[in-house]
Structure 1
Amino acid sequence: MILTQCAVCATELGLTLGKKCGRCSTRYCGAECQKKHWEEGGHDKLCKQIKKAGGAEQYNANKRYTEAVVVAAEACAEDTKGQTCFICTQALHWKTKEGLVRGCACRGTAGFAHVSCLAEQAKILLAEAEENNLGAKVLDERYRRWYACSMCEQEYHGVVRCALGWACWKTYLGRPETDQFRSNAMGLLGMGLASAGHLADALTVQEAELAMTRRLGESEDAILVVQGNLASTYSMLGNIEKALSMERDVYSGRLKLHGEEDSNTLRAAGNYAVSLHDLQRFEEAKSLFRKTIPVARRTLGEENVLTLRMRWTYARVLYLDEGASLDDLHEAVATLESVAHLWKRIFGPAHPETQKAQEALKGAREALAKGGV
């Protein structure tokens, strides 16, 4: 996680409290902990090394990135056996000796790469756009390389996304707080940590990001983005009531700012409905989905990821409701048959959510076999 705690006693300091080592910027709650760390915690031996690496935050990011790359390569080892990187054409990275990963929807021999190569490619493309003032649209398109495949255009997931999150953060953390790339990198790190299941770390990053965004007086739109990501992490941690409250506010804010057809409004509606579903408030969830899914299908298309996820969750709401009618159960099965087929065709059998779609379809069929009320 980013450094928001005292290095000795773990007191929460946020992004601005406490004091720092004058040489390497390691953070402490006060002089007593700083003295203890120097005399008993080994900081006297690490201080120069941390400073040489660029300071405590940079040192931590570099270390966590290296660890995340190892985890990602090991997780992908079976899938990448005998393959080469589509960027450098080597099996082992020439410098780091890291293995390959694949965390997208590419098929066959496509999509294999080193995290280092993906990160370097994203860094170079974005630097070129900055230097040549290519405009906001090009910057946004190139920034996608930090979290989405350049070939299949699908977002990376799991441990690969986590490793790229650390890569992005270590690249831009040295910029001023007001720099957009630094802010975006913090957001990507939070989402990457959540995607890999490091939810406590993700929560720390996202709460710090929200505090920073508010302190800097960012736009309401920017604040809603961070709140939406934070709400998703609360939900994954099981704090559904808090997630629901935040998601309701995000949906309301998006609707007011951008209208019902905006993709961010639809995403917020989907997240809000998921929490309603998790709290078994099925009627409210069904009502919201019935209002927003037709809009998503019309504006985003049948094969859009968001559209598919909304339909998938809507079907789960239908068949998990104890009061489901036979018509509800038939609709749930038909919906999931369509979604599972499209998901497998678009994202491939290796994508983690492909199996989840198949499991949901199995659950709907079992519910139908038992009959509705």
Structure 2
Amino acid sequence: MCACRGTAGFAHVSCLAEQAKILVAEAEENNLDDKPFNERWVRWLNCSLCEQRYHGVVWCALGWACWKTYLGRPEWDWARRGAMSVLGNALFDVERYEDALSVQEAELSMARRLDASEEHILVVRSNLASTYEVLGRDEEALVLRRDVHSRRVNRDGEEHTTTLIAANNYALSLMHLQRYQEAKSLLRRTLPVARRVLGDDDETTLRLRWYFAGGVVEDPASTLDDLREAVATLVEIERTARRVLGGAHPTTTGIEHRLRLARAALRARETLSGKS
């Protein structure tokens, strides 16, 4: 459930949890600053060898372990709030969307009650928007994602990773509501920035290109040449995702699924064009 290969890809989940607990405890004991503390906290999220984010059942198991570790702390404690975020995202990753929604709504309510930082609230609202979307609450998701993207641009600048991710999410919401021209316009502005700042192998860049190609395939106004270009893009990024992230990663499997749909759409359009 990460990018490790061969025998390096096996570990006890309990050992991963214990490693994260020890590292965070040491950081708290030594009063480390935010950056070194966060580098230790991400052991709840990322593999220490390949540095890739866990996914699937491993992330879900670590999410529960993280929550159980810090549940007894006061609401204002950073680790308790962080554990709630880890759990909510982990539940979402294994498609337990209603459970994720309960956790995320509770997290947002707590963040507002405790006057949390704008950064924390933006992250929670973005996560909540993703859950709204998969539950069919597209309009609510769009409102949240539009606001998060606007605030990210003003707060972090157009080249920041958080802004690029927010643009990606905002475009996805537009596509869900079949507002393809708006989505593609946003992605056309964002993609060159992501490729320059993050590089073509970065997961955010891959997702931006994936969603843009998907928008082309779904848009009834796309031409035959547009569809061919979308298929070519998906073929290219599928190879990159498989090499960088591995064949089991959700981004890789998502691109593969979109590629199958794109090829089917292209064949249907070519057949129709030949008949006409």
Q: TM-score, normalised by structure 2?
A: 0.94
Change over 3 Å in CA distance of 1:350–1:211 after alignment to 2 = same
Deviation at 1:359, TM superposition (A): 2.2
Whether 1:308 aligns to 2:206 is yes
Residue number in structure 2 paired with 1:247 = 145
Whether 1:107 aligns to 2:5 is yes
Determine which structure has the larger helix proportion and give its number: 2
- Which of residues 233, 238, 245 in structure 2 aligns to 1:347? 245
Higher relative contact order (CA 8 A, sep 6+): 2
Report the aligned-residue RMSD: 1.4
Amino acid at match of 2:258: A
Does the aligned pair in 2 maintain the 1:206–1:229 contact within 8 Å?
A: yes
Whether 1:116 aligns to 2:19 is no
Output the CA distance in 1 between the equivalents of 2:237 and 2:80. Answer: 36
Whether 1:204 aligns to 2:102 is yes
Whether 1:153 aligns to 2:51 is yes
| SS at 1:109 equivalent | helix
Amino acid at match of 1:341: R
Whether 1:266 aligns to 2:196 is no
Deviation at 1:279, TM superposition (A): 1.2
Aligned residues: 271
Any gaps of 5 or more consecutive residues in structure 2? Answer: none
- Which of residues 186, 192, 197 in structure 1 aligns to 2:84? 186
Show CA shifts across 1:103-148 (max 9, x none).
Answer: 1121112121111110000011111122123321111111111011
Output the CA distance in 2 between the equivalents of 1:277 and 1:114. Answer: 40
Deviation at 1:199, TM superposition (A): 0.8
Show CA shifts across 1:245-274 (max 9, x none).
Answer: 111111111111111111111111111111
- Which of residues 252, 258, 264 in structure 2 aligns to 1:366? 264
Residue number in structure 1 paired with 2:39 = 141
> Identity of paired residues, percent?
59
Of 129-138 and 310-319, deviating more is 129-138
Residue number in structure 1 paired with 2:173 = 275
Any gaps of 5 or more consecutive residues in structure 1? Answer: 1-102
Residue number in structure 2 paired with 1:295 = 193
Output the CA distance in 1 between the equivalents of 2:73 and 2:106. Answer: 16
Output the CA distance in 2 between the equivalents of 1:289 and 1:365. Answer: 22
Q: TM-score, normalised by structure 1?
A: 0.70
Deviation at 1:364, TM superposition (A): 1.8
Q: Which runs of 4+ in 1 moved over 4 A?
A: none
| SS at 2:35 equivalent | helix
Amino acid at match of 1:110: A
Structure exhibiting the larger radius of gyration computed from Cα positions: 1
Amino acid at match of 1:360: R
